[in-house]
Structure 1
Amino acid sequence: MMNRRDALKKFATFSVVSTGSVFVPTVLANTQCSNNEAIDFGSNGNDAKLLTYIKLDPMSVAKQAYAGYDRGGCMYGVFDAIIKSLADAGHEDACRFAAIPTNMATFGKGGVFGIGSICGCVNAAAMAINLLAGINQSAVSRALFRFYEKSEMPRGDSAFLTAIGAPTRKTDDGTLLEANLIGKSIAGSTLCHTSVTLWSKASQFGSSHQAKFERCAQVTAEVAYMLVTYLNQSLEGTLEAELVAPANQDCAGCHSSTAREPDAYLGTDVNSTLECQSCHSSHDMAGGVPVHEELTCSDCH
């Protein structure tokens, strides 16, 4: 079996050309790979050059993702774990997986540089899925995103925590942050700020506390675990996970995508498969003035 280091050596050699004070690395693809385009893979417009996915062990990838969180955050943790696992698998595209610089994913922590937008875990999953052949990219993506928005996380069961080596963080008085302290929450969204805020509300820990970092490290492991689970099922043709929130059917009649022009336009089109009522009240609940209308967000949050 080819390990990642050997695969990378086989994949490329680097020659450095000096131009004044500028050094330009040249990547030379190894002829053992199936084509000579060094880093040209993934969905590239209409010309998809994808890499072969082979079945992985979800728990092994989850353990790597948990450890990776400490090195580069949630997006890096998921992306690094699955890419390195595929590089270590010793198959036809191992050398190409080995050549992917997984530190490109560190930008996603905290919902992209701490902005609180899309959670880095699902962002990483989508980026990895985009590289893979042999699986239904759309179905795996939708299953994973739906899992994230509807599931209580982190799962907190002892077998899973033991397998990934968690927990590793402590409270201020030195108490290990076991599952009963971390608690669980449902994000109801794929946004980082919503996910963390609802967890903070449920756990009563602040978002800069070690408990938050432990929680997010465990969520990183759990998303990696589910990503590999769905990829394996898709590869085997057995993926039957929920892909769209069932309640969306109540909204889709008026708010689905159409090609209507203004004279026939009835209701705002919505381009989303995520749960509508996480953010939008149903029509019979809409209206009325919020009791905190006069406040700004920062007064309370």
Structure 2
Amino acid sequence: MEEKLVKEIGQEGVSRRQVLAGTGALAAGAALSHLGGLVSSASAKDGSTEKWPWPYEKLDPEKTAQLCYEEWYRIFCGGAVISSIFTQLREKVGEPYKAFPIDAYIYLEGGQAGWGTICGAPAGANMVFNLIIGPRISGSTVAHKMCEDVMAWYSQALMPIYMPKNPKVTAELAKTVSNSPLCHISVGKWMKAANKPLVSPERKDRCARVAASTAFKVVEMLNDWKDGKYEQATDFNCGKLHGITGQQNCHECHGSKIPQAPPPPPEEPKKA
């Protein structure tokens, strides 16, 4: 194609370099066109391409949970939560969801690349809240409050909650309360209660159901937000109380090695 263009346009006195530069511009234009939903929606005051909230249409929690359960077996916990919501919004809304790289978030698996830190399910949920509603630096603290709520809910719920249609494991699965959003604690407690190893089909299906349960909860919360009915259910203030980021349940992981925060600086005397 390039040679043909060079031959045809070259007769008009246009150089090969100019032609190739032009074809490159066409390719760049096509790429920008693909991202049009992201670029054209941008008119933030600082000139960035970020504008909040993203358009949201209410979803069916049951349908979302089933999609999430099935997606877990492809991209695991965090990616499945994101996919179950964003793939529906791609159909209902279009951009910016069509351009969002869902599969990149497979790294949320196993508490972030298998490190057993925050479970991918609430981590994916938190990303969804911040992308749809906007981060707190955008002027709204609602997404941040939802993150607090879903972390607390995940920690306190008897999991798994959701029962999928046609489950891959038909045996009744044990249910446990993690008292922590950490994958290591959540999965570890369940494995002990169920007496099943990490690689067992039962453990895998348990985590698929936990992700689906989380996706169900996320859509319920987003639907309430869309209807103007969302109210924060949690007042998470560990940092304010103890002067260090953390959870209210340090002993789930720590013994004598709980990090201690230094005392805060003395308050300046109030002026008369």
Q: With the length of structure 1 as denominator, give the TM-score of the two structures.
A: 0.65
Residue ranges of structure 1 left out of the alignment (5+ in a row): 1-15, 18-22, 170-175, 258-267, 288-301
**Could you tell me whether the CA contact under 8 Å between 2:152 and 2:234 is conserved in 1?**
yes
1:199 is matched with which residue: 175, 190, 193?
A: 190
- The whole-number CA distance in structure 2 between the counterparts of 1:280 and 1:74 is 22
| Structure 1 residue 230: Cα displacement | 0.9
Shift in alpha-carbon separation, 1:114–1:33, aligned structure 2, 3 A: closer
| Structure 1 residue 226: Cα displacement | 0.3
| Structure 1 residue 209: Cα displacement | 0.7
Identical residues among aligned pairs (%): 25
Q: Which SS does the other structure have where 2:115 is aligned?
A: coil
Aligned to 1:209: 200
Aligned to 2:69: 66
- The whole-number CA distance in structure 2 between the counterparts of 1:220 and 1:148 is 10
Aligned to 1:244: 235
Shift in alpha-carbon separation, 1:31–1:188, aligned structure 2, 3 A: closer
| Structure 1 residue 71: Cα displacement | 0.6
**Could you tell me whether the CA contact under 8 Å between 1:61 and 1:82 is conserved in 2?**
yes
Shift in alpha-carbon separation, 1:147–1:196, aligned structure 2, 3 A: same
Find the structure with the greater CA-based Rg. 2
Specify which structure has the higher proportion of helix. 2
The one-letter amino acid of 2:240's match is S
| Structure 1 residue 69: Cα displacement | 0.3
Q: Which SS does the other structure have where 2:32 is aligned?
A: strand
Q: With the length of structure 2 as denominator, give the TM-score of the two structures.
A: 0.71
- Equivalent runs, 1:1-301 vs 2, <5 Å: 27-29=31-33, 33=37, 35-36=39-40, 48-50=50-52, 51-89=54-92, 91=93, 94-133=94-133, 136-155=142-161, 160-161=162-163, 164-169=164-169, 176-177=170-171, 179=172, 182-240=173-231, 242-244=233-235, 256=240, 269-272=243-246, 274-277=247-250, 279=252
- The whole-number CA distance in structure 2 between the counterparts of 1:47 and 1:95 is 13
| Structure 1 residue 55: Cα displacement | 1.3
Q: Which SS does the other structure have where 1:105 is aligned?
A: helix
Aligned to 2:265: none
Shift in alpha-carbon separation, 1:55–1:140, aligned structure 2, 3 A: same
The runs of 4+ residues in structure 1 deviating greater than 3 Å are 23-26, 30-35, 44-48, 276-281
Specify which structure has the higher proportion of strand. 1
**Could you tell me whether the CA contact under 8 Å between 1:75 and 1:124 is conserved in 2?**
yes
- The whole-number CA distance in structure 1 between the counterparts of 2:40 and 2:109 is 33
Shift in alpha-carbon separation, 1:31–1:119, aligned structure 2, 3 A: closer
| Structure 1 residue 34: Cα displacement | 8.0
Shift in alpha-carbon separation, 1:278–1:165, aligned structure 2, 3 A: farther
| Structure 1 residue 219: Cα displacement | 0.5
**Could you tell me whether the CA contact under 8 Å between 1:74 and 1:220 is conserved in 2?**
yes
**Could you tell me whether the CA contact under 8 Å between 1:41 and 1:131 is conserved in 2?**
no
Q: Which SS does the other structure have where 1:208 is aligned?
A: coil
Q: Which SS does the other structure have where 1:130 is aligned?
A: helix
Note the aligned Cα RMSD (angstroms). 3.5
Residue ranges of structure 2 left out of the alignment (5+ in a row): 1-22, 135-139, 257-272
The CA deviation string for residues 5-56 of structure 1, in whole angstroms up to 9 with x for no partner, is xxxxxxxxxxx95xxxxx989612369848537xx899x9998423112211
